Amino acid sequence: MKVAIIGATGLVGRMMARILEERDFPVTELIPAASERSVGKMVAFKNKEHQVVGVEEALSRKPDFALFSAGKDLSLKYAQRFATTGTIVIDNSSAWRMEKNARLIVPEVNGNMLSKDDRLIANPNCSTIQLMVAVHPLQKKYGLNRMVVSTYQAVSGSGQKALDQMEAERNRQNPEPAYPHPIDLNCLPHGGDFLPNGYTSEEMKLVNESRKILSLPELRVTATVVRIPVETGHSESVNLEFEKDFDIEDICEILAKSPGINLLDKPEQNKYPMPLYAVGKDDVFVGRIRSDESLPKALNMWVVSDNLRKGAATNAVQIAERMLEIC
């Protein structure tokens, strides 16, 4: 079982290697690959150091799986080339998510859509993944008319350069900026690039990916993305308008029994989801569950998850595990 990680030296790439090891994925040969500037670096896996190779070299070795996390441009250049050799490609970039013939998969939600013939599978955006894990079991039970989401996203979601900026600011140094403004002691209502409609690319990812994953192309969704000075762990304020009425106790019971969810909803004890709880875990934490008193059949909840694990690396490895079961 040969597994290549494309983008192996990045935050998510290194986490992919860690998750493969933690979940005992049956890797017999790990092929860490990255851009030419990273060739020769070392990546740790199962108590050994593995040397990073170029992407062409990884392609020539014909891996069984290739986990991509090296950005959209590289995925567009190489993902299909790997797939045509028979490699199962799981791509963490935005390159293929909205392609009609590419699966966009959160295993707990729509893993049943995968088939043994799939060779190019897209991993959703980190904020979309945790949102779908929390929303899907409720959507199945009550139907869904509208979804309003505000995300509070950790700096690690922007990569190492952004983490370096925040660390430098905290040390009162002049960093090389990853953001157009300071991030420490600040909040930026800006994720991705601004589009002609006034939304950002990160906000539209939440809209479009949610519709595709839930198979609800006309679902009314609106989103606001905010970057906050937290290292790891995305948080989301979610408002859901259902087709059917609900009982809060039933909502909590459904969520508590749903795969991948950790219900943490004891506000009277000051227990609710926070990034501090989520870091290093694969659960999606859900709490602050309450009826929207301004709108019938509507609900508010708070959703938190580790954006490097379930929001990226873990979800990709879970897709690989599902493909192993199918094939």
pLDDT of 123: 98
Same domain, 173 and 295: yes
Residues assigned a catalytic role: 126, 234
Q: Is the domain of 298 the same as that of 150?
A: yes
User: What interhelical angle do 11-22 and 314-326 show, nearest 10?
Assistant: 50
Q: Are residues 110 and 139 in the same domain?
A: no
Q: What is this structure's pTM?
A: 0.97
* Nearest CA-CA partner of 111 in 283, 320, 257, 322: 322
Looking at the structure, do residues 115 and 155 belong to the same domain, yes or no?
no
Distance CA 216, CA 222 (A): 14
How many structural domains does the chain have? Answer: 2
pLDDT value at residue 73? 96
CA distance 309 to 44: 17
Same-domain pairing of 117 and 186: no
Do 174 and 244 lie in one domain? The reply is: yes
Q: Domain with 200 in it: what CATH number?
A: 3.30.360.10
**Host domain of residue 247:** 128-306
- Whether residues 133 and 170 fall in one domain: yes
Give the whole-angstrom CA distance, residue 163 versus residue 148.
28
Same domain? For 289 and 146 the reply is yes
Does 173 lie in the same domain as 292?
yes
What pLDDT is attached to residue 175? 86
**Distance separating alpha carbons of residues 29 and 32, to the nearest angstrom:** 10
Tell whether 78 and 42 lie within a shared domain. Answer: yes
Pair (154, 23) in one structural domain: no
CATH of the domain at 55: 3.40.50.720
Per-residue confidence (pLDDT) for residue 140, from 0 to 100: 98
Give the strand pairing for 234-242 and 144-153.
Answer: antiparallel
- Which residues of the chain are under the pLDDT cut of 70? none
Tokens 């994953």: give the residue: 213
pLDDT of residue 187: 98
My answer on whether 164 and 299 are in the same domain is yes
